[in-house]
Amino acid sequence: MSNIRQSWYEAGARERIAALVDAGSFAEFVGPEQRETSPHLGIFDLPAQFDDGVVVGGATLDGTPVLVAAQEGRFMGGAFGEVHGAKLTGLLRAAKALGRDVVIAFDTGGVRLQEANAGEIAIAEIMRGLVEARMAGVRVVGLIGGRAGCYGGGGLIAGCCSTLIVSEQGRISVTGPEVIETNMGVEEFDSRDRALVWRTMGGKHRTLIGGADVFVDDDAAAFRGAARAALAGSARPLSDRSASPHPFALSEVEGLGPIDDASTSLSTNERGGRPGLDLDTLAVEQARLERRIARFGDAADATDIWRTLGIDDPKAIPDMPSTAFATLAAQYRESADDAR
Amino acid sequence: MRQWNTRKALREERIAAGANFATGKLVQPETLVDFLEAVLRPGDRVCLEGDNQKQADVLAKGLAAMDPARIHDLHMVQSGVVLPEHLDVFDSGIAKRLDFSYSGPQSARIAKMLFGGKIELGAIHTYLELFARYFVDLTPQVALIAAVSADRQGNLYTGPNTEDTPTVVEATSFGSGLVIAQVGSIVDTLPRVDIPGDQVHFVFDAGKPFYVEPLFTRDPAAMTETQILTAMLAIKGLYQPYGVRRLNHGIGFNTAAIELLLPTYGEKLGLKGKICTHWALNPHPTLIPAIEAGWVEQVHCFGSEVGMEDYLAARPDIFFTGPDGSLRSNRAFSQTAGLYACDMFIGSTLQIDLAGHSSTITANRIAGFGGAPNMGSDARGRRHPSAPWLQAGAEADPDTAAPLRRGRKLVVQIGETFGEGNAPLFVEKLGALELAEKLDLDLAPIMVYADDTTHIVTEEGIANLLLCRTADEREQAIRGVAGFTEIGRGRDKAMVERLRERKIIQRPEDLGIDPLDANRNMLAARSIKDLMLASGGLYRPPSRFRNW
Amino acid sequence: MEILHFDIAAPIPAAGTRAMALVGVVASGNLEVLVVRGDAPDRCAIEISTAAHGFRDLWDAVVADFVGRRAAGGLRIAINDGGARPDTVSLRLAQGVRMIEEPEA
């Protein structure tokens, strides 16, 4: 039963990374022993966490070097603060410099109120770092399935990823349910109606409406498989891959090398199938979003959207088991048209 | 010449007055308040359901909307003080005196009103005790009850949440009182008849189901390693050695963890079929995995639980169901079962003192008793033997000759040494004692008395009070499992070690349990969704528990 | 925040070769325990950062119990406390020792 499967939802940040990467391959950057804690929380008499709620580092996935990050959703709701944000910004800049793909396990409610300015700036810098890495041919895969969901600035960052992998428990949005209710009234959105919250922002809906690309079970192994599949077909020739057991020494990052020139300007055709970020991609994504609004803008509830997609019994979706849902989604979901 | 039918005559008057607002037995819509003012008299003794779970909420609102100049000084007798309206009637003077059992949801407000003199308190009872008094000196003159549906003859279907209704109606109707039912709908044919129409005088169609809350659902996602540790201790240190098959679990995370450990930890210990086969228990969703794994033979329920209806109907071998297939619960009989047909009660509390008295009453909150004191007491009227009962009796009193030595019901308090808000479980003086002084009560409201309590289980270990021979031993046994609380740190270390040698205290290590072994992976279900899946989709969790 | 320091005798030495172990998360009712190797094999240094002021005596009792019961010798421990109960603190400290004694991956 649940004893056999490792729940992604239940797992902490470090457990998620351990489940994702090749055994023993993870080398942490700015780890807890360095005690780079928040310079702000003490003012509010709030306890800090040694890694400031995000674990970043290098590892291998099936032998391929990648950069990984996982937010700790249980610390301050996984919210972005100054140090937390800086670690992610640095990781993405390193990804561009090194030409390494990135996997990010999101679990965040957005920006920390106590570090609002630093947090908001960090969101912008992360988005910039992510986009520049993608323009250089790097893939950034987002994994969403934790307790805090992926809200606020996290939702914006997720929207910039090459691929989003989501489970049923995962939620992606910008504004959270309580804030919608406060601003628009309970008749418009009852935040305590959790079935409504998941219909509107949850993994199944995001998959069907095209807001997420891959739907998986709440299973760490499933997330791992989907991340690997998303990165299959490397952007760089095999000869560039490091063969050492710890392919990622910190000094490599600090020295910004070896830089792979070939990865800085690959076009869609030269990369292994998956489009990078260029003006064409953005144009296609813009068209997709416009089409989405045109098609679904009048829907009052997600079930209306699912019906429009051609699903006969939309009310059965929330309780549908994962495998059956994944099959249905493959057939009926909004097509991505090489966008993202 | 004495009249002998005054009560029946008064009821006829009430019926005649009410008939002005009714068509047959059906009260006309929009006339509820006028109707109530017509059938009630000042000073009436009124029973309002007020059950643990279901509430006759529309009738309660009607009652609270009456004009206190017309109807005042009512004596309310009800199981549960749950809705705001239950106390609004005291604020406005509609009601004056109160006899009740449980006030959990209103524990802060009722405390304020009792201290403030707004309520004249009769007494706080256990459920069964209050029911008993309905037949002796607290017989209701008017009962306001809740049912699912009625037909035009006044037959009622109370369904899974039957709870107190048959008891209330029996006492009121046959005691010449008036019975008024709130229903969700009027139908031509009921699924089954729970209350016959000739016991019911008026029916009000509320047009919607009665209010009911999920009180017995505990989310496995919130269970901590410490709670799992206490559950492991209970299973290995109590359920196994005493061989407890017939039991009641008080609601709480520790007992819910026990339920979820049966198919895993219990299975590992080889205990299936040897423990936990027969239950007096509400339909806890956390028992689903154990039921599905074949641990459970039968469960009788006090009430139902929101979301469990389809699962219960699909398991008629386990639960009590009617000819319509749905659950039939009955609080009075379940309480009786807990008293006389169970060998163990295990539950949680808020405070335990050095003698072993426990209470949930603190300075500002009066939650009442509910059913716990019945479950958590040794029924001296019991006569039939069972192995656990005899074993406990022998531990308590080894000197008396066996044929003259009654057994003892196992009454266990389980909890972490520090509870909610990091408040210590163990205290020098109970808040209940302070309350008794403040309100000048004859008795401090004790939930479970020391001389009924047989064991205390915390994350530090198990204290067996049956084996204690002096008050001193008892005190140190309690200190010895009180962890890092002030009470625990005040222990006599040498004496505690001696008690451990005599197995009066057993630590996890003594039972072969390492606290580090307590792991959420041991739970047969780790989320509400897991419970739903375990039930094959029959359990439909209320919205508040969803994360999908 | 209140910062507490303990430097006490720890008779049972920690085994293993791992340099660092981290258990727990800073959340309400929880705590983070960072364990690294210290200098003296028969002593344990513990530093606690907590927003709950005035509980030195309680930490004292928990720490004393920990070094008596678990292999704490030769370790330096840093704690960020989210208002955890003493039994949770004991559990995390024990988990930290177990983790640092685990064989290298």
Question: At B461, which CATH number?
Answer: 3.40.1080
- Same domain? For B96 and B158 the reply is yes
Identify whether B164 is part of a domain. Answer: yes
Question: CA-CA distances (angstroms) from residue B290 to B265, B421, B520, B531, C44?
Answer: 11, 32, 17, 11, 44
Identify whether A326 is part of a domain. Answer: no
Residues of chain A contacting residue C20, judged by C-beta atoms under 8 Å apart: 31-33
- Same domain? For B469 and B392 the reply is yes
Residues of chain A contacting residue B286, judged by C-beta atoms under 8 Å apart: none
**Domain coverage including residue B242:** 214-342+519-537
Residues of chain B contacting residue C88, judged by C-beta atoms under 8 Å apart: 224, 226
A193: closest chain B residue by CA: B543
- Same domain? For B369 and B286 the reply is no
Identify whether B547 is part of a domain. Answer: no
CB contact under 8 A, C88 and B417: no
Domain boundaries along the sequence of chain C = 2-100
Identify whether B145 is part of a domain. Answer: yes
CB contact under 8 A, C86 and B226: no
CB nearest B526 (choices: A7, A147, A202): A7
Identify whether B12 is part of a domain. Answer: no
Identify whether A323 is part of a domain. Answer: no
Identify whether A4 is part of a domain. Answer: no
B223: closest chain A residue by CA: A10
Distance from CA of A123 to the nearest CA of C (A): 23
- Same domain? For B225 and B206 the reply is no
Residue B9 tokens read as 């005559």
Identify whether A283 is part of a domain. Answer: no
Overall number of domains in chain A: 1
Confidence of residue A340 (pLDDT cuts 50, 70, 90): low
- Same domain? For B142 and B88 the reply is yes
CB nearest C32 (choices: A31, A42, A50): A50
CB nearest A1 (choices: B520, B524, B546): B524
Percent of chain A at pLDDT exceeding 70: 84
Q: Which residues pair with A144 in a beta bridge?
A: A106, A166
- Same domain? For B132 and B77 the reply is yes
Q: Are B182 and B215 in contact (CB under 8 A)?
A: no
Distance from CA of B484 to the nearest CA of C (A): 7
Q: What CATH number has the domain bearing residue A229? A: 3.90.226.10
Identify whether B26 is part of a domain. Answer: yes
Identify whether A335 is part of a domain. Answer: no
- Same domain? For B193 and B67 the reply is yes
Using DSSP bridges, classify how beta strands B26-27 and B22-23 pair: parallel, antiparallel or unpaired: antiparallel
Nearest-Å Rg of the Cα atoms of chain C is: 13
Residue B364: per-residue pLDDT? 83
What span, in angstroms and rounded, lies between the C-alpha atoms of B458 and B416? 5
Q: Are C63 and C10 in contact (CB under 8 A)?
A: no
Each residue's pLDDT tens digit, A261-278: 333 333 333 344 445 688
Count the Cβ atoms, other than its own, within 10 Å of residue A78: 28
Distance from CA of B262 to the nearest CA of A (A): 14
Strands, E assignment, A99-156: 101-106, 140-144
- Same domain? For B72 and B137 the reply is yes
- Same domain? For B62 and B191 the reply is yes
Q: Is the pLDDT of residue A256 over 80?
A: no
Q: Is the pLDDT of residue A244 over 50?
A: no
CB contact under 8 A, C26 and A12: no
CB contact under 8 A, C26 and A47: yes
**Domain coverage including residue A57:** 13-172+212-275
Q: Which chains touch C (3 or more CB pairs under 8 A)?
A: A, B
Q: Which residues of chain C have pLDDT under 70?
A: 105
Q: Is the pLDDT of residue A308 over 90?
A: yes
Count the Cβ atoms, other than its own, within 10 Å of residue A286: 11
Identify whether B121 is part of a domain. Answer: yes
A1: closest chain B residue by CA: B524
Question: CA-CA distances (angstroms) from residue B287 to B259, B274, B343, B416, B525?
Answer: 5, 17, 19, 22, 10
Indicate the burial class of A11 (C-beta count within 10 angstroms; 0-12, 13-18, 19 or more): buried
DSSP 8-state code for residue B263: I
List helix spans (H) across chain C.
56-69, 86-100
CATH class of C2-100: alpha beta
Q: Which residues of chain B have pLDDT under 70?
A: none
Q: Are B54 and B162 in contact (CB under 8 A)?
A: no
CB contact under 8 A, C87 and B489: no
ipTM summary value: 0.95
CB contact under 8 A, B527 and A198: no
B424: closest chain C residue by CA: C85
Q: Is the pLDDT of residue A314 over 80?
A: yes
Total-model pTM: 0.91
Residue A165: which H helix or E strand, with range? strand A163-167
Overall number of domains in chain B: 3
What is the secondary structure of B384-441 as a DSSP string? ---HHHHHHHHHH-SSS-GGG-----EEEEE--SB-GGG-BSB-SS-HHHHHHHHHT-
Q: Are B460 and B481 in contact (CB under 8 A)?
A: yes
- Same domain? For B312 and B261 the reply is yes
What span, in angstroms and rounded, lies between the C-alpha atoms of B421 and B398? 41
Strands, E assignment, B184-340: 185-186, 202-205, 211-212, 246-249, 278-280, 298-300
Residues of chain B contacting residue A204, judged by C-beta atoms under 8 Å apart: 548
- Same domain? For B373 and B308 the reply is no
Mean pLDDT along residues A121-140: 96
CB contact under 8 A, B521 and A3: yes
Identify whether A290 is part of a domain. Answer: no
Identify whether A199 is part of a domain. Answer: no
CB nearest A319 (choices: B527, B537, B544): B537
Taken in order A309, A310, A315, A320, is the CA torsion positive or negative? negative
Identify whether B5 is part of a domain. Answer: no
Strands, E assignment, B10-141: 22-23, 26-27, 45-48, 54-55, 74-80, 95-102, 120-124
